[in-house]
Amino acid sequence: MPQVRWKMQSGSGIEHLVLQSQPDGYSVESVLTGENSDRPYAIQYSLRCDKSWRTRFLSIQVIGGATLVIHGDGEGHWTDEQLDEIPDIEGCVDVDIVATPFTNTLPIRRLTWHKGMQQRIAVAWVSIPDLQAVRADQIYTCIEPGSRFRYESADSGFTAELEVDSDGLVIDYPELFERLR
């Protein structure tokens, strides 16, 4: 499985991500830097998915700041590091970390697609740098199976057309991210 780099199209942010296939699913290790309101940050995250691309674990740390660790059962139930339930993200199968295009891969790989098909999902949306996880509704539309998807935030109305490779990894996320390798 690949090593990937993306750069943020505004500012100086960059991400280096390693995606590996495991006997029970997939693992991701990533480091990224960026800016939020002109304040620089660096984060490291680890994410684990089962073979169906359902998020089972996320650990994300802002270097010199907050840490968030959540566990998912693949059915939309989440617990924190102390195994206490997290009702704010109940029903979310995927996570969406605001500072990376990688998390768009999760629903693209997890769901079945046909040209023109639209699917509405709930995600655990993680903000940077405060690491708050909240429920967000999103809509994905398959423009061309395996290569083009439209992403829409049902909450804000933001829309982007994503170009992806055969692994479902973003190649181009207009105005936000561009893949370097």
What count of Cα atoms within 13 Å lies in the side-chain half-sphere of residue 169? 17
- Of 17-21, 39-43, 119-123, 150-154, the poorest mean pLDDT is in 39-43
Entry pTM: 0.94
What count of Cα atoms within 13 Å lies in the side-chain half-sphere of residue 103? 22
Confidence of residue 12 (pLDDT cuts 50, 70, 90): confident
**What's residue 6's pLDDT?**
97
pLDDT tens for each residue of 70-111: 999 999 999 999 999 999 999 999 999 999 999 999 999 999
Say if residue 26 is exposed, middle or buried (CB neighbours under 10 Å; 0-12, 13-18, 19+).
Answer: buried
